[in-house]
Amino acid sequence: MLKATLLAFTLLAATALSATAAQPAADPLAPAGHWTGATAGRAATPPMGWNSWNAFRTDVDEAKVMGTAKVLVDSGLRDLGYIYVNIDDGWWLKRRTSDGRMQVRTAIFPSAKVGGSETSSFRPFTDKLHSMGLKAGIYTDIGGNACSQAYDLHSPNLPEGTIAERQIGLHGHVQQDIKLYFADWGFDYIKVDACGINVYGADRPFVKQHKYNAYPPLIDQASINRTNIPAVRALYQQVADALAASNPDGDYVYSICAWGAANVRAWGKDVGNLWRTSGDITPQWSRMLHTFDSASTRALYAGPGHWNDPDMLFVGHGDFDVHHLTEARTHFSLWAMIDAPLIIGYDLRNAPQALMDIWSNKDIVRLNQDSGGHQAVMAYDSDDVQIFVKTLSDSGTKAVLLLNRGSGPAEITLTPAQLKMVGDVALTDLWSKKTMMLTGGERTFTLQPRESRVFKAKGKRQLADGMYLSEIPGAINIARDGVIVPVPDPIVHRMSNPWGATTNSGERPSYGGWGGARADATPYDQALTVDGKVFASGIGILANSRMEVKAAGFRHFEAKVGVDDSTRNLKDKVVFQVFGDGHLLAQTTAAYGQAAQTLSADLANVKTVELVARSEAPTSDLPLVVTWGDAALRE
Ligand code: GLA
Helix ranges restricted to H, 154-271: 174-178, 205-209, 229-246, 264-271
Would you mind telling me the total number of residues written for the chain in this entry? 635
Looking at residue 21, its pLDDT comes to 47
Looking at residue 395, its pLDDT comes to 78
CA pair distance 142, 144, nearest whole angstrom: 7
CA pair distance 259, 276, nearest whole angstrom: 5
**From atom 6 of ligand 1, which residue's Cα is the shortest distance away?**
89
Q: Is 280 in the pocket of ligand 1 (CB under 6 A)?
A: yes
Using alpha carbons, list the distances in angstroms from residue 44 to 265, 303, 548: 19, 8, 18
CA pair distance 123, 142, nearest whole angstrom: 23
CA pair distance 8, 13, nearest whole angstrom: 9
Phi, psi of 386, deg, nearest 5: -135, 155
Ligand 1 centroid to residue 147 C-alpha, Å: 6
Question: Consecutive 10-residue runs of the chain (635 residues): their mean pLDDT?
Answer: 36 39 79 96 98 98 98 98 98 97 98 93 98 98 98 97 98 98 98 98 97 97 96 98 96 98 98 98 97 98 98 98 98 99 98 98 98 98 98 93 97 98 98 97 97 98 96 98 97 87 89 98 98 98 98 97 98 98 98 98 97 95 97 97
CA pair distance 508, 337, nearest whole angstrom: 27
Q: Is 343 in the pocket of ligand 1 (CB under 6 A)?
A: no
Q: Best substitution site from 274, 280, 344 to test ligand 1's pocket, by max atoms within 8 Å of Cβ?
A: 280
Looking at the annotation, which residues are catalytic?
Answer: 193, 280
**From atom 1 of ligand 1, which residue's Cα is the shortest distance away?**
147
- What secondary structure does DSSP assign to 87-136, as a single string? --TT-EEEE-TTT--EEE-TTT-GGGB--GGG-B-SHHHHHHHHHTT-EE
Looking at residue 498, its pLDDT comes to 75
CA atoms within 13 A on the CB side of 410: 20
Looking at residue 1, its pLDDT comes to 34
Ligand 1 centroid to residue 593 C-alpha, Å: 48
Q: Which of 167, 149, 160 is nearest to 106 (CA)?
A: 160
Q: Is 147 in the pocket of ligand 1 (CB under 6 A)?
A: yes
Please give the model's pTM, rounded to 2 decimal places.
Answer: 0.95
Looking at residue 501, its pLDDT comes to 84
- Please state, as a whole number, how many other Cβ atoms lie within 10 Å of the Cβ of residue 24: 11
Looking at residue 8, its pLDDT comes to 38
Residue 464: exposure state from Cβ atoms within 10 A (0-12, 13-18, ≥19): exposed
84, 52 contact by CB (below 8 A):
no
Q: What is the DSSP letter of 228?
A: -
Ligand 1 centroid to residue 153 C-alpha, Å: 14
Phi, psi of 193, deg, nearest 5: -80, 180
